[in-house]
Structure 1
């Protein structure tokens, strides 16, 4: 079983445990995100499925699939870019922490890291003191990856 199939199998088990089903088209969209080194838009996923599987999936269907995958904690939506990435912890059996996404502003590579609970608690407190309510603790940061930094040097 290759890397992509292994992750999809784990995702299937996770969905089954919640009474949900990972259909063929859902697997295809998820495979596109697993294989990508960067975040993808719904339209980039439509192109991936067309090129890879010969499937033309309508945009509304891809958005519904992405929403399903997000609800199952298999993918994350990057709000700043309006794109999606596969969850880095699909294959893990531990509880997931609050994700932080490091996004290379040059090549668009994305890395998911976890934020310590104490940091999120402190951030939430600062937000409340400023007179706001935090609706999502997910953090997205514009960065430069090591590869792009090395190319610039």
Structure 2
């Protein structure tokens, strides 16, 4: 498992490749997401940053940073809860399939998985046959993690 400092170094390299800069504040917000074991809101991130770093983080700054981190594919926004998670593949150099998120209904822990592009294409075909257009193939599945699942 890669530690937080290594993840930040990989994130810096990814940003450098796209001629973007991972500023100290951006690193701090990303650190908060990496260290969280669940999806967290922008307000929770602001609280984290205000608690652990000397700087104050206005909520609009957090939102701008999250937008940047999303554009750099370092974080994902969960649409159903309006919360954010660090990408599970920051340290990877290869292209990934479409991310899918398993979200524990009890503890809010999130696991990022991927599904085959053929499945996404089939879903898109079904969406179009129903008279709709897919905006995003991202799926968020409400689950119970193994820690929260009742013993049977």
Q: TM-score, normalised by structure 1?
A: 0.96
SS of equivalent to 1:96: coil
RMSD: 1.1
Q: Return structure 1 stretches of 4+ with deviation > 6 angstroms.
A: none
Question: Which residue does the alignment assign to 1:73?
Answer: 73
Question: Which residue does the alignment assign to 2:41?
Answer: 41
The unaligned stretches of length 5 or more in structure 1 are: none
Question: Which residue does the alignment assign to 2:60?
Answer: 60
Q: Displacement, 1:9?
A: 0.4
SS of equivalent to 1:64: helix
Q: Displacement, 1:55?
A: 2.4
Separation in structure 2 between the aligned mates of residue 51 and residue 41 of structure 1, nearest angstrom: 15
Higher mean alpha-carbon deviation, 32-41 vs 47-56, is at: 47-56
Question: Which residue does the alignment assign to 1:98?
Answer: 98
Question: Which residue does the alignment assign to 1:115?
Answer: 115
Q: Displacement, 1:63?
A: 0.2
The unaligned stretches of length 5 or more in structure 2 are: none
Separation in structure 2 between the aligned mates of residue 13 and residue 143 of structure 1, nearest angstrom: 34
Separation in structure 2 between the aligned mates of residue 35 and residue 62 of structure 1, nearest angstrom: 16
Mapping of 1:22-33 within 5 angstroms?
22-33=22-33
Q: Displacement, 1:54?
A: 2.9
Separation in structure 1 between the aligned mates of residue 61 and residue 96 of structure 2, nearest angstrom: 28
Q: Displacement, 1:87?
A: 0.4
Q: Displacement, 1:53?
A: 1.0
Number of equivalent positions: 151
Q: Displacement, 1:56?
A: 1.6
Separation in structure 2 between the aligned mates of residue 135 and residue 128 of structure 1, nearest angstrom: 11
Deviation digits for residues 42-84 of structure 1, max 9, x if unmatched? 0000010111113220000100000000000000000000000
Q: Displacement, 1:4?
A: 0.4
